[in-house]
Amino acid sequence: MRFVAGADIALSKNPPRAFAGVVVLSFPDLKIVEECGMVSKLTFPYIPGLLAFREAPALLKVFDRIRHEPDLLMIDGQGMAHPRGCGIACHIGLWLDKPTIGCAKSHLFGKYRQPPLNRGSWTPLTGNHDQRIGAVVRTKDKTNPIFVSVGHKIDLPSAIQYVLACSQGYRIPEPTRQADHFVARLKREKI
């Protein structure tokens, strides 16, 4: 694997716009090789559980513009750990046919126990009928965990391994952390 991409969205209400960004990093050293973003008008209404239909179109347009082809995608959002089993990481992964991981900062769906406080520990995230839909992963000692789930073309143990490999002393893995910083900067510059 040579490149990993992080993707994120920032939103504004008036007018309703999406500030979509993709940051491509080299792997395993995690140096930024490309940032690409755009501002897009939001046309799909806010409906809880259907955010992919609102946000994915803008992200897909940005992915069409990047020059460095990523081998792995990390999306700030859910994959299978979604009430319908198909969050934005699944949508993006299926559309681009790339290995994709959902890396969410907060819990949306499923049951879990807190993992031990040390970096690298994790516990299963289970959905209906105790099906494993993700993992609650501690990426840094004594900080809140993140919620990792499969988006597309990757298994959960590999997703956890890559998330930990891309965590450099921060709670959020470097690809999505950099994407978050990039879209925040894009939003500040465009408003």
Give per-residue pLDDT as tens, 143-157. Answer: 999 999 999 999 999
The pLDDT confidence band at residue 40, using thresholds 50, 70 and 90, is very high
Q: Name 126's bridge partners.
A: 111, 132
* pLDDT for the residue 191: 62
pLDDT value at position 12? 93
Please count the CA atoms within 13 angstroms of the CA of 24 that sit on its side-chain side.
19
Q: What is the pTM of this model?
A: 0.96
* Candidates 1.25.40.10, 3.50.50.60, 3.40.640.10, 3.30.2170.10; CATH matching 3-190: 3.30.2170.10
Map out the domains of the chain as residue ranges.
3-190
d(CA 165, CA 156) in angstroms, rounded, equals 14
Average pLDDT over residues 60-80: 98
Of 42-46, 95-99, 148-152, the range with the lowest mean pLDDT is 42-46
pLDDT by residue (tens digit) across 125-144?
Answer: 999 999 999 999 999 999 99
